[in-house]
């Protein structure tokens, strides 16, 4: 073709690879420095207004030097994350991540694998993790599993598979109203809000979730559960789903899983376990017996990014009946046709087990973490966090100004500063203490309500946390609390 212009040579790859490589090494070194010396930093710090404003600038039109963009990251982003890599972070339920997981994430991004399907080893890596989890939780060979964003999504998938079990696969075309049955589900007062959200998203409505009270150990009261199931059946409802929790978000309580499994079986209901962080206690020989009954679950949801320390995000769902799981999501499409050879081989694919077609390679950072630290190594860090929680409990009990608000079942300690004030004022003081702790950069617990009282809640999830970090939490709580007590006394004088 005489006269045709050559194709454009422009790509997004570096024009100067050696310079890019040098910059890449600097960026890696910076993140390794950040992790190695994280103790020198505050856990968290408030974001200055001028920094926040910088993130309102318009879409850049021209290119910028990678080193300049990275300098902005170091200055304006890195110091202002929530700080869950820091050993003083104890809020909510956040894992700390690991350097090996970080490198694996970089490798996954380099490969840029789309793990929705097709015949590729990244899918085999995910299948291997599925098999490992199947064995760990003693699920049958026919069980299926899938990486998802987090336990909220995993619980939602479980509700959808249970919906197929109850209504048949035609529910996908005809909708939940078509059978005319009023399906209802059950979980405890201590369960995470995403179970109600899953019922909402699945089309049942959150009112179809019955909230069962808990006993003094914050476990679902199984006798009330059974009474409610019987009453609902009598009133024309169809009970179909029971969600027990292994490690409740507020206090770390583990429901009686074997009891709940037997009850669900008796009433021919789906038995789901939300083990968002607690399920991986299975890796710790001293804790695993506490999960007795989990092996009977029809589905199990958990996150590798919590106690498993895999960098965010790495949620996971395991389903006992893999065929039912497949029937819930698989959708034939010409552009996704399967073959027996070529890249379209290797069916079923991960996209047949969940709503995502395009999916990142979450399995790789999980696989690296399990390979690098071993199941025993991760189990030991999980046991350590529980031992530390026990230490914190003892410290709380040893301070007359502090009061323990809930039993310490695993790794979560709920306590409060005993302010000699009205109920409301004392709650307010404890909320203020938690905010002071966060803003001081010393420790970052969160708060919750336990038996109607505001609790300072320390969830020890991070493998870097030590007894010294807990001592600092106690000393700072006492100091902030004493200063509020003084202020309040002056106000009332």
Which residues contact ligand PLP by CB under 6 A?
A: 93, 150-152, 192, 194, 245, 247-249, 274, 276-277, 303, 315
Q: Which is nearer to ligand PLP, 186 or 484 (CB)?
A: 186
Q: Minimum distance between the CB of residue 93 and ligand PLP, rounded to whole angstroms?
A: 4
- Closer residue to ligand PLP in complex, CB, 158/474: 158
CB of 348 vs ligand PLP, minimal distance in Å: 25
Answer for the pair 318, 379: CB distance below 8 angstroms, yes or no: no
CA torsion 275-278-283-287 (nearest 10°) is: -130
Please give the Cα distance from 243 to 152 (Å, whole number): 13
Nearer to ligand PLP, 158 or 184 (CB): 158
> Of all helices (H) and strands (E), which one includes residue 243?
strand 237-245
In the complex, minimum distance from the CB of residue 383 to ligand PLP, in angstroms, rounded to a whole number: 19
- Closest to 151 in 3D by CA, of 308, 268, 283, 261: 308
Residue at shortest CB range from ligand PLP: 150
Smaller CB separation from ligand PLP, 171 or 242: 242
3-class DSSP assignment, residue 440 = helix
Classify 448 as helix, strand or coil. Answer: strand
Q: Which is nearer to ligand PLP, 260 or 276 (CB)?
A: 276
Q: Nearest approach, Cβ of 236 to ligand PLP (angstroms)?
A: 31
Question: Quick one: 94 or 210, whose CB is closer to ligand PLP?
Answer: 94
User: In this structure, are residues 349 and 118 in contact, taking their beta carbons and an 8 Å threshold?
Assistant: yes
Q: Give least dist CB 276 to ligand PLP, A.
A: 3
Q: State the nearest-atom distance from the C-beta of 159 to ligand PLP, in Å.
A: 13
With tokens 């007062």, the residue in question is 189
Residues contacting residue 357 through CB under 8 Å, at least 6 positions apart: 116, 336, 351
Of 408, 432, 350, 450, which Cα lies nearest the Cα of 127? 350
- List helix spans (H) across 82-143: 99-111, 121-136
What is the spatial distance between Cα 88 and Cα 441, in angstroms, rounded to a whole number? 8
307 vs 215, 269, 314, CA distance in Å?
26, 29, 11
CA distance 456 to 414: 6
Gap between the Cα atoms of 474 and 396, Å rounded: 8
Q: Minimum distance between the CB of residue 274 and ligand PLP, rounded to whole angstroms?
A: 5
Instruction: Considering the complex, state which of residue 247 and residue 360 has its C-beta at the smaller distance from ligand PLP.
Output: 247
In the complex, the smallest distance separating the C-beta of residue 300 from ligand PLP, rounded to whole angstroms, is 12
Q: How far is the CB of 1 from ligand PLP (least distance, A)?
A: 55
Closer Cβ to ligand PLP, 93 or 257, answer by number: 93
Q: CB within 8 A of 351, min separation 6: which ones?
A: 116, 117, 329, 336, 357, 359
β-partners of residue 445 are: 90
In this complex, which beta carbon is closest to ligand PLP, that of residue 382 or of residue 429? 382
Q: Which is nearer to ligand PLP, 130 or 249 (CB)?
A: 249
Shortest Cβ 245–ligand PLP spacing (Å): 5
Smallest separation, CB 222 to ligand PLP (Å): 18
Pairing of strands 412-417, 453-459: antiparallel
**Terminal C-alpha separation, the chain:** 96
Nearest to 449 by CA among 190, 109, 138, 275: 190
CB closer to ligand PLP, 434 vs 488: 434
Shortest Cβ 53–ligand PLP spacing (Å): 29
Please give the Cα distance from 211 to 225 (Å, whole number): 9
359 or 395: whose CB is closer to ligand PLP?
359
Name the 3-class secondary structure at 33. Answer: helix
Cα–Cα distance for residue pair 121/105, rounded to 1 Å: 16
């Amino acid at each position: 073709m005489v006269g045709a212009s050559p194709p454009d040579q422009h790509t997004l790859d570096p024009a100067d690879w050696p310079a890019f490589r040098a910059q890449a090494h600097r960026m890696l070194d910076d993140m390794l420095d950040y992790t190695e010396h994280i103790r020198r930093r505050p856990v968290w710090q408030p974001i200055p207004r001028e920094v926040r404003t910088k993130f309102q600038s318009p879409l850049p039109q021209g290119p910028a030097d990678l080193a300049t963009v990275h300098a902005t990251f170091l200055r304006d982003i890195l110091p202002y994350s929530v700080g869950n890599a820091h050993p003083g972070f104890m809020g909510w339920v956040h894992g700390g991540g690991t350097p090996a997981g970080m490198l694996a994430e970089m490798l996954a991004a380099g490969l840029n694998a789309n793990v929705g399907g097709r015949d590729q080893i990244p899918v085999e890596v995910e299948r291997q993790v599925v098999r490992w989890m199947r064995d760990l939780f003693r699920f049958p060979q026919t069980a299926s599993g899938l990486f998802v964003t987090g336990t909220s999504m995993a619980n939602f998938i479980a509700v959808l598979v249970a919906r197929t079990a109850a209504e048949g696969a035609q529910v996908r075309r005809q909708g939940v109203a078509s059978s005319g049955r009023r399906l209802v589900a059950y979980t405890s007062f201590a369960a995470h809000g995403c179970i109600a959200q899953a019922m909402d998203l699945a089309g049942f409505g959150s009112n179809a979730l019955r909230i069962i009270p808990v006993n003094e150990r914050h476990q679902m009261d199984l006798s009330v559960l059974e009474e409610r199931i019987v009453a609902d059946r009598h009133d024309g409802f169809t009970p179909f789903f029971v969600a027990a929790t292994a490690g409740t978000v507020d206090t770390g309580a583990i429901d009686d899983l074997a009891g709940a499994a037997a009850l669900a079986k008796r009433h021919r209901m789906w038995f789901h376990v939300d083990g968002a962080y607690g399920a991986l206690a299975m890796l710790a020989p001293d804790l695993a017996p506490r999960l007795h009954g989990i092996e009977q679950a029809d589905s199990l949801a958990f996150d590798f990014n919590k106690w498993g320390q895999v960098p965010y995000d790495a949620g996971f769902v395991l389903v006992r009946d893999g065929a039912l799981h497949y029937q819930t999501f698989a959708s034939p499409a010409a552009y996704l046709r399967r073959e027996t050879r070529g890249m379209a081989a290797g069916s079923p694919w991960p996209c047949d087990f969940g709503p995502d077609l395009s999916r990142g390679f979450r399995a790789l950072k999980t696989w690296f973490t399990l390979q690098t630290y071993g199941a025993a190594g991760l189990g030991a860090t999980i046991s350590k966090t529980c031992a530390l929680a026990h230490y914190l409990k003892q410290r709380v009990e040893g301070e007359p100004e502090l009061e323990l608000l809930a039993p310490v079942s695993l790794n979560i300690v709920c306590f409060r500063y005993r302010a000699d004030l009205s109920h409301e004022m004392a709650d307010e003081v404890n909320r203020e203490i938690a905010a002071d702790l966060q803003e001081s950069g010393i420790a970052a617990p969160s708060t919750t309500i336990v038996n109607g009282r505001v609790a300072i809640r320390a969830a020890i999830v991070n493998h870097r946390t030590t007894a010294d970090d807990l001592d600092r939490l106690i000393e700072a709580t006492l100091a902030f609390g004493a200063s509020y007590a003084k202020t309040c006394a002056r106000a009332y004088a």
